[in-house]
Amino acid sequence: MEIKTFKNSYLSSTKDALKSAFYHENSNERFNEWEFAENLLSSEGYLPELCVVALEGENVVGYNALTKAKIGDHHGLALGPLGVRKEYQNIGIGTALVKECISRAKRMGFSWIALLGGDYYSRFGFESGKQYGITVTENEFDNEHLQILFLDQSAERNICGKLVYCDAFYDDNGNLL
Ligand SMILES: CC(C)(COP(=O)(O)OP(=O)(O)OC[C@H]1O[C@@H](n2cnc3c(N)ncnc32)[C@H](O)[C@@H]1OP(=O)(O)O)[C@@H](O)C(=O)NCCC(=O)NCCS
């Protein structure tokens, strides 16, 4: 398995991998993680260097993207979607994708990464955004799942306000994907 920067020729295989990771019976046909990978390519929030895939031969088996985000006036990154093909889960691919993105983001000088997610992310040092007064929607469930990782130990922790993702994360009604 190798980690590579995403390129357009991986798109079809990437969408297959994300569908395998995320598909469920009530998946929205247009606003879902696999369509997101395509929509992102034309988004102002797309950062090509921070969009990576895990390759097994020519096949994409995992995907992770960091995109432009803001909390109040502070510019940073949002993580996701992160997905690994079902039959390749639990063998370290998700971990490798996240670690690669974190190290690239550090090199590029970003100071934080935020995400909506569960316990999986604590292993990388993500912590609850609640203690910093960071929110993402009016919904308490969403806010409970908001996590942040500060990339620079000396980075100021006085970030608070609403996390705003790039346009690709919102549907036509302005709801988060
Ligand atoms: C979540 C996901 C990206 C993890 O990637 P992965 O390659 O399967 O995971 P890794 O092999 O890197 O890590 C495995 C470890 O993570 C844990 N783990 C896997 N999924 C988890 C989850 N959803 N919540 C908490 N822990 C999880 C495993 O129990 C295992 O723990 P261990 O190291 O203590 O044994 C992958 O399982 C996936 O694509 N799931 C479906 C889509 C999804 O939920 N994406 C994340 C959205 S927030």
Mean pLDDT of the chain: 95
Residue 175 lies in a domain: no
In a domain, 48, yes or no: yes
98 in Cβ contact with 82 (< 8 Å)? yes
In ligand 1, the atom with minimum distance to the C-alpha of 118 is: 24
In short, whether 18's Cβ falls inside 6 Å of ligand 1 is no
**Domain-located, residue 12:** yes
Domain count, the chain: 1
Q: What local confidence, expressed as pLDDT, does residue 10 receive?
A: 98
Lowest mean pLDDT: which of 26-35, 46-55, 113-122, 152-161? 152-161
Average pLDDT over residues 29-58: 95
Answer yes or no: is 138 within a domain: yes
Residue whose CA is at the smallest distance from ligand 1 atom 41: 21
CATH number, domain containing residue 82: 3.40.630.30
176, part of any domain: no
pLDDT for the residue 155: 65
Quick one: average pLDDT of 26-47?
94
Identify whether 70 is part of a domain: yes
pTM as predicted = 0.96
Domain that holds residue 154: 2-169
pLDDT higher than threshold 90 for residue 158: no
Res 156: pLDDT: 65
Tell me what pLDDT residue 144 has. Answer: 96
Write the pLDDT tens digit of every residue in 67-78.
999 999 999 999
Token pair of 42 as six digits: 């034309």
What contacts 53, CB < 8 A, 6 or more positions away?
Answer: 3, 4, 5, 6, 10, 14, 17, 60, 62, 63, 97
> Where does the pLDDT of residue 129 fall: very low under 50, low under 70, confident under 90, or very high at 90 and above?
very high
The residue written with tokens 């190290």 in the block is 103
ω into residue 48 within 30 of 0, thus cis? no
Judge whether 140 lies within some domain. yes
Q: Whose CA is nearest to atom 33 of ligand 1?
A: 90
Q: Is residue 174 part of a domain?
A: no
pLDDT at 60 over 90: yes
